[in-house]
Amino acid sequence: MGLKNLKEGLRRLKIYHDSCYRYSESASDSTNLLKLKPKEGEFQQLDFFVISIHPSVRLTHQIDFFGNITHEFSLKTKHDYLEIKACLIATVKTQFDLQNLPYGSGHDSLNNDRLKEIFHHYYGISKFVWIDAEIWKAALDSKNDSDDVFQSSCSIMNWAYENIEYLPGATTVNTTSIQAFHRKAGVCQDFTHIMLAMCRSIGVPARYVSGYFYDSGIKSLRGAAATHAWVEVYIPHLSKWVGLDPTNNKVVDQNYVAIARGRDYGDVTPVSGTFMGGGNKRTLTVSVTVEEY
C-alpha cells in the first residue's frame, strides 16, 4: 500500500496560527467564527490554548453540530486590520503501529441501518464532496477485490497520492471534489475531498478533519507549513474513526493534531466571517508554525 513508517510513542507539539487581514480602507461590522481550538480525546490531550484578537474584542464560545469548539466575536468599530492569533500545546499519542493496523471489518459490516442513521452525514454528498461515475469507477478500481474496510480505504488513499499532483494555486477553497478529481491537481483540501468522495461512493462513511502536523524536521511531507486536512474512515469492529492522510499517503499518528471535523471543508473552516467596507485592496496573510515542545 506504500504506507509511510509509523513511530510508536507520544509527541508534544506547540503550534502557532496567525491570520492577519489588512484593508485599503476601514472595515466595520466584522463578525467572525473561529475553529482553532482542538478537542481532547483518547489520543489527544490539550495542555495549553490561547486566542488573541487585535483590535481587542470579547470572545464567546460554543460547541457546533459536529462537536467542534467554536469561538465567535463581533467588531463593530472601524479598523484597518484584523489579526487573529492562536497558540496551543498538545500531547498526541499514535493510535496504531504497523503491526497493529485496524484490519478486520468487512464491507458487509457497513450495510447496517443503525450505522447509516447515526453517520448519515458522512455517507453521501455535501457542499464540496460530490460523486460522479468516474469517481465511483476509480474507487472500485483502486479497491479491486478487497473486502476489508481499512484495506480499501488505504488503497483509495494510495490512489489519490499517486494520481493527484500536489500543486498549490491549482484550486481555490471553493473547488469541489469533482473539479479537483478531473484537474488531477490540488492541495490537501482537494486530496481530502477526493478521498471522501471515493470512500463514500463505495459505502464507507468518511469525514473531513482539519488540523496540523509536524514534519519531524525532515521537511519531506507535503503541506507542513499550513493548516492541514485529512480523512477519517469508520471501522465498525473497533467502533472507531481512523485517520488517513491522502496528501502524504500516511496513517495519521502522533505527529497530527486534529482541530475540527465535519462533512467537508465548509464545516471546519478555521476562520470565517463577514464585514462591511474594507476598500478594493484586501490582503490575508496566514502563518503556521508547528514545533516539538
Burial pattern 103-115, b for ≥16 Cβ within 10 A else e, equals eebebebbeeeeb
Looking at 3.30.310.80, 3.10.620.30, 3.30.420.40, 3.40.50.10540, the CATH number of the domain 96-268 comes to 3.10.620.30
CA neighbor of 80 nearest in space, from 20, 17, 18: 20
CATH number corresponding to 10-92+269-292: 2.60.40.2250
pTM: 0.94
Task: Give the domain ranges of the chain.
Answer: 10-92+269-292, 96-268
Instruction: Report the pLDDT value the prediction gives residue 219, as an integer from 0 to 100.
Output: 63
Topology match between the domains 10-92+269-292 and 96-268: no
Cell numbers describing residue 161? 497520492
Q: pLDDT by residue for the chain (293 residues), tens digit each?
A: 444 434 457 899 999 999 999 999 999 999 999 999 999 999 999 999 999 999 999 999 999 999 999 999 999 999 999 999 999 999 999 988 878 899 999 999 998 899 999 999 999 999 999 999 999 999 999 999 999 999 999 999 999 999 999 999 999 999 999 999 999 999 999 999 999 999 999 999 999 999 999 987 666 788 777 899 999 999 999 999 999 999 999 999 999 999 999 999 999 999 999 999 988 888 999 999 999 99
The whole-angstrom separation of Cα 64 and Cα 45 is 20
Instruction: Report the pLDDT value the prediction gives residue 2, as an integer from 0 to 100.
Output: 41
The whole-angstrom separation of Cα 48 and Cα 89 is 5
